[in-house]
Amino acid sequence: MRIDIGSDHRGYDLKCRIVRHLGERGCEVIDHGCDSAQSADYPDHGLAAARAVAEHPGSLGIVICSNGIGMSMVANKVRGIRAALCVNEAMASQSRRHNDANVLVLGADNASVDDNLKVLNAWLEASFEGGRHARRVAKITEAEGQRRRSMESDCIFCKIVAGEIPAEKVFEDDEIVGFKDINPAAPFHALLIPKTHIETLNDLGPEHVDLMGRIVLAAQKVAAEEGLETGYRLVANCLRDAGQEVFHIHVHLLGGRRLTWPPG
């Protein structure tokens, strides 16, 4: 069983204890920090662990802070995550049996280490019962899908990906589309975008490292095909001060003239 785990500084000692405990149970544990009792921000480590669980369907995660509230909030922002803050064995067991929780949230200050370990064991030993509970969990998943679809339906670049708005394509593979900018700022100006809707550079996580690398390689390929052998520039604007207008991440590929520096 793969288990991704993360904590802030307040949950660090309990996390170390749980990592040992899970190792003894033969689990494969991936520790997303923090790595000491020095002050750490719970969203950093909670998101890393929750995103890893979402990336590996069927795996489980554990996130820990002082009372579990911040970690609950952040883990439940990740699509596909059902994170349950549990303070006793009954809650832990039910969160698996009824809610198909895939992330357990513990509060280091909510119970003693031994009692938190009992909560953890109860959680690991229970499994989803399906039936009427499957219908209810499906409604949670459906709500997630609706939120995503409404974001996407307002997005110009998702419409270009779907072919609903025409664009002059210069690149396409399974994950990425490149097309000419409608209002070019250089003789050659294209945009490279992921096919999935990600709003800003700040929404990227470790799971997007490959994708962003492939976007740069796609730009390199397009630049070569367009004969930009004397140089080109890649630009990615993030949020208002950088002038981001379209909230679906994109990398501008500019070339065909001598580009000045610094940009405005």
Selecting among 56, 98, 189, 208, the annotated active-site residue is: 98
The span from the first CA to the last CA of the chain, in angstroms, equals 51
* Window 237 to 256, contacts with ligand 5GP (CB under 6 A): 237, 243-246
Q: Does 250 bind Zn ion (CB under 5 A)?
A: no
Name the residue nearer to ligand 5GP (CB basis): 179 or 232: 179
* H helix count then E strand count, the chain: 8, 10
User: Which residues are CB-contacts of 58 (< 8 A; sequence separation ≥ 6)?
Assistant: none
Q: SS3 sequence, 113-147?
A: HHHHHHHHHHHHHCCCCCCHHHHHHHHHHHHHHHH
User: Is residue 189 among the annotated active site residues?
Assistant: no
Number of residues engaging ligand 5GP in binding (CB under 6 A): 14
Q: Does 188 bind ligand 5GP (CB under 6 A)?
A: no
Segment lying near ligand 5GP (by CB under 6 A), choices 75-83, 124-132, 174-182, 208-216: 174-182
* Window 185 to 244, contacts with Zn ion (CB under 5 A): 197
Q: Does 212 bind ligand 5GP (CB under 6 A)?
A: no
Between strands 28-31 and 2-7, the pairing is parallel
Segment lying near Zn ion (by CB under 5 A), choices 37-45, 88-96, 222-230, 245-253: 245-253
Q: Does 182 bind ligand 5GP (CB under 6 A)?
A: yes
Q: 177 contacts which partner out of ligand 5GP, Zn ion, none, CB within 5 to 8 A by kind?
A: none
Q: Does 209 bind ligand 5GP (CB under 6 A)?
A: no
User: Which residues are CB-contacts of 221 (< 8 A; sequence separation ≥ 6)?
Assistant: 171
Residue 192 phi/psi, 5-degree rounding, is -110, 125
207-224 burial, b at 16+ Cβ within 10 Å, e below that, comes to: ebeebeebbeebbeebbe
* Window 136 to 165, contacts with Zn ion (CB under 5 A): 155, 157-158
Selecting among 32, 34, 65, 86, the annotated active-site residue is: 65
Characterise 202 by phi-psi region: left (phi > 0), alpha (psi -120 to 50), beta (else).
alpha
Catalytic residue numbers, as ranges: 65, 98
Q: Which residues bind ligand 5GP (CB under 6 A)?
A: 156, 165, 167, 179-183, 191, 237, 243-246
